[in-house]
Amino acid sequence: MRVTVSGWVQGVFYRATCATVARELGLGGYVRNLPNGRVEAAFEGPEADVDAMIAWCRHGPDLAHVDGVEIVPEPLRGDVGFRVTG
């Protein structure tokens, strides 16, 4: 799944916290800042864990204010491990 998160999500440790939670769940994928102020992430793994990660994205870390989360199903890419980019 690929998600795009809008709101006050840059400069509030969203990417770092997202990566920590995703790694704890054993998910593959990435999280990155977008030039338009949003955050994009992709998650691969067991459906229940991906669902838990998407639920986390709806609120993010304490300093974040999430206005919306767009979810787009994508084919599996075979990502192993979770990385922070951009």
Q: Give dist(CA 2, CA 73) in Å, integer.
A: 6
How confident is the model over 22-64, as pLDDT tens digits?
999 999 999 999 999 999 999 999 999 999 999 999 999 999 9
Share of the chain above pLDDT 90, in %: 91
Share of the chain above pLDDT 70, in %: 100
| CATH code at 2-74 | 3.30.70.100
pTM of the model: 0.94
User: Which residues is 71 bridged to in the sheet?
Assistant: 3
- Which residues form the catalytic set? 15, 33
